[in-house]
């Protein structure tokens, strides 16, 4: 199936309340879905015989700071049966620290486990019902989220207070 007809199929199934926008760039379409229904949409994408998206390439985050909603969670899908790709997104807002929450899709594609752990620590999001919500690449004691746009690339201890050298832990 081509990109447009996948988007249309989604729209026909879930309606404009869930399937909000579709942006086409070159030959790829990215569809934004309501984050409350992300599990339903993903389940449909995987189980519908015509779509059959059985392979999840990655889950990633994008920080649109200072826009609201602040975060995008991107799901890049592939169907090994039908040889087509598709990308869906959900917008996640952070009104107060720690309030950026979205359902984990690890129950649908187990490979999402590590991708979501990485996204969670890099952007400070929470994936609800994640089977293993530990940090993956960053040290346990870091409370900062490096891939956020307001996290400086370099700076002094004052710019990155979370990374300040502490007694008994390795500082930067």
Q: How far apart are CA 36 and CA 18, in angstroms?
A: 9
Q: CA nearest 132: which of 123, 150, 143, 120?
A: 120
Write out the binding residues for other proteins, residues 110-129 only, by CB under 8 A.
110-111, 113-115
Among 55, 69, 126, 144, binds other proteins (CB under 8 A): 55
Instruction: Give the residue from 133, 148, 134 showing the smallest Cα distance to 102.
Output: 133
158 binds other proteins (CB under 8 A): no
Q: What is the largest CA-CA distance in the chain?
A: 58
Q: Which stretch binds other proteins (CB under 8 A): 8-16, 32-40, 52-60, 92-100?
A: 52-60
Q: Binding other proteins by CB under 8 A: which of 1, 39, 52, 138?
A: 138
**3-class DSSP assignment, residue 21:** strand
In terms of CB distance, is 35 or 79 closer to other proteins? 79
Contact between 22 and other proteins per CB under 8 A? no
Residue 167 binds other proteins, judged by CB under 8 A: no
How distant, in Å, are the alpha carbons of 9, 41, 57, 70, 148 from that of 66? 33, 28, 28, 7, 11
By CB under 8 A, the residues from 31 to 50 that bind other proteins are: none
Distance CA 16, CA 2 (A): 20
Shortest Cβ 54–other proteins spacing (Å): 6
* Contact status: 161 vs other proteins (CB under 8 A): no
CA 81 to CA 70: how far, in whole Å? 35
Binding interface with other proteins (CB under 8 A): 23, 25-26, 28, 30, 54-58, 60, 62-63, 74, 76, 78, 80, 83, 85, 87, 109-111, 113-115, 135-139, 146-147, 151, 153
């Amino acid at each position: 199936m081509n990109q447009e007809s996948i988007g249309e199929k989604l729209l026909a199934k879930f309606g404009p309340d869930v399937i909000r926008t579709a942006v086409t760039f070159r030959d790829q379409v990215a569809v934004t879905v309501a984050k409350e229904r992300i599990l339903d949409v993903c389940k449909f994408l995987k189980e519908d015989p015509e779509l059959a998206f059985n392979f999840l390439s990655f889950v990633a985050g994008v920080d649109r700071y200072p826009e609201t909603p602040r975060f995008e969670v991107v799901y890049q899908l592939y169907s090994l049966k039908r040889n087509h790709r598709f990308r869906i997104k959900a917008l996640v807002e952070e009104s107060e620290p720690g309030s950026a929450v979205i359902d984990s899709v690890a129950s649908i594609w187990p490979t999402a486990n590590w991708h979501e752990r990485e996204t969670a620590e890099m952007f400070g999001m929470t994936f609800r019902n994640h089977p293993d919500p530990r940090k993956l690449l960053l040290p346990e004691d870091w409370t900062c989220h490096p891939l956020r746009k307001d996290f400086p690339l370099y700076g002094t201890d004052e710019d990155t207070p979370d990374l300040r050298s502490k007694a008994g832990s390795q500082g930067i």
